[in-house]
Amino acid sequence: MSGVVALFTDGADWHAARLEQAMTRRGVECRRVPLSACGFAIGRTATGLLLPGFGDALPAGAFVRVVGQGSFEQVTLRLGVLHALDRLGVPVYNSARAIERCVDKSTTSFLLAQAGLPTPPSVTVQDVATARAVVEAWPDCVLKPLFGAQGRGLRRLPRPDDVPESEAVAGVYYLQPFVPPRREAEWRDCRVFVVGGRAVAAMIRHGRSWITNVHRGGRCEALAPEGAVAELAVRAAAAVGADYAGVDLISAPHDVGQWLVLEVNSMPAWQGLQTVSDADIADALAADFVARVEAAASRGPQ
Closest to 218 in 3D by CA, of 208, 227, 228: 208
Mean pLDDT of the region 153-163: 87
Average pLDDT over residues 154-175: 87
The one-letter code for the residue type at 2 is S
Yes or no: say if 96 and 82 are a contact pair by the CB < 8 Å rule: yes
| Beta strands across the sheet bearing 29-33 | 29-33, 4-8, 61-64, 92-93
Between 245 and 206, whose confidence is greater?
245
User: pLDDT of 29-59, one tens digit each?
Assistant: 999 999 999 999 999 999 999 999 999 999 9
Looking at residue 14, the DSSP 8-state letter turns out to be: H
Tell me, what's the pLDDT at 145? 83
pLDDT of residue 169: 80
Residue 42 main-chain phi, psi, to 5 deg: -65, 125
Task: Answer positive or negative: Cα dihedral of 289, 291, 297, 302.
Answer: negative
Report pLDDT for 253: 78
In whole angstroms, what is the distance from residue 241 CA to residue 272 CA? 25
Mean pLDDT on 10-23: 91
Taking each helix axis as running N to C, give the angle between helix 281-299 and helix 14-25, from 0 to 180 degrees, rounded to the nearest 10. 60
Check whether 227 has a pLDDT greater than 80. Answer: yes
Band of the pLDDT at 240, cuts 50, 70, 90?
Answer: very high
Check pLDDT > 60 for residue 148.
yes
Contacts of 230 (CB under 8 A, 6+ apart): 192, 199, 202
pLDDT digits (tens, 9 = 90+) for 193-218: 999 999 999 999 887 777 776 766 67
The distance in angstroms from the start CA to the end CA of the chain is 19
> What integer best gives the mean pLDDT of the chain?
91
Total residue length of the chain: 302
Taking Cα atoms as reference points, which of 201, 190, 189, 191 lies closest to residue 285?
A: 201
Say if CB 22 and CB 282 are below 8 A apart: yes
Residue 278: which pLDDT band, with cuts at 50, 70 and 90?
A: very high
Packing angle of the helix pair 227-240, 105-114 (nearest 10 deg) = 110
pLDDT at 150 over 60: no
Higher pLDDT, 121 or 255: 121
pLDDT value of residue 301: 67
**Do residues 238 and 117 touch, judged by C-beta distance below 8 A?**
no
The set of residues, in sequence order, having a beta carbon less than 8 Å from that of 279 and lying 6+ positions away, is 200, 201, 225
Indicate if the pLDDT at residue 143 is higher than 80: yes
Confidence (pTM): 0.92
Q: Is 111's pLDDT higher than 60?
A: yes
With a CB cutoff of 8 Å and minimum separation 6, the contacts of 267 are 64, 65, 66, 67, 94, 99, 102
Give the pLDDT of residue 99.
97
- Read off φ and ψ for residue 4, nearest 5 degrees: -110, 140
Q: What is the 3-state secondary structure (H, E, C) of 206-233?
A: ECCCCCCCHHHCCEEEECCCCHHHHHHH
Question: Could you give the C-alpha distances from 215 to 208, 218, 220, in angstroms and in order?
Answer: 11, 7, 11
**Mean pLDDT to the nearest integer, 182-194:** 83
User: Which 3 state secondary structure label does DSSP give 112?
Assistant: helix
Percent residues over pLDDT 70 in the chain = 94
DSSP state of 266: S
pLDDT score of 208: 73
pLDDT band (50, 70, 90) for residue 185? low
